[in-house]
Structure 1
């Protein structure tokens, strides 16, 4: 299989296989997922590292990123212990990759950014009551009761 080197801007010296080179404008994890789908077999980080000429550690990071994107990539995963290795490694079998065009991306709902707004600290921020809600005049009532006792005690 021939490899085709692309612009090294987004891929940091990764070499993209020619079979998925038409998706060069997509993120690297999508390209790797499409390549895995073409393999039609269980793929691990070593296979990805060899096909994309990247370090195994980086291939492992890409594999974990793929595993955290089940909305865009439909896959099966398993832990497989290979001969001569102490620890099991993740393997995936990619069944389908959903590619969304950047132009067609729209937000489904607007969620305001509440963290950037300045808020008043205290019970208003956490919406936890302080035991005084609904009793606005409690303090004045207590003061009046105390002053009534004090006036009655002096007599």
Structure 2
């Protein structure tokens, strides 16, 4: 008879199919039925009276979301590691393709000459330093920028 009463009390401590919702720091943390049963079993395993075993129950209830968070973090880390491995494999493939292209005659993926450190230089004029080319005439003549023409004698 004691076993029947103990089972009835145990069934009413954590009703079947129910979970627990706790609001913490603006978020709602949900514990499923199995997590609640594990916490109640841990408290009962102490064989302490109900009120004395309550801290054990609370500790288990708090630890359940933490364990779930650790499992989720491990799962995310595994997925991240797999994604990184995939990206690195693609990069290795890109390097291999580039090396194959470089090996072909007349085909290169490399630039023929590197750009200057400060970027490409802008050329203004091949020989006149930014001025318009002088007009070849007799006598001294100025270019539009005010410089004297090198063709000043006839």
TM-score by length of 2: 0.25
More helix, by proportion: 2
Higher strand share: 1
RCO higher in 1 or 2 (8 Å CA, sep ≥ 6)?
A: 1
TM-score (norm 1): 0.25
Higher Cα Rg, which structure: 2
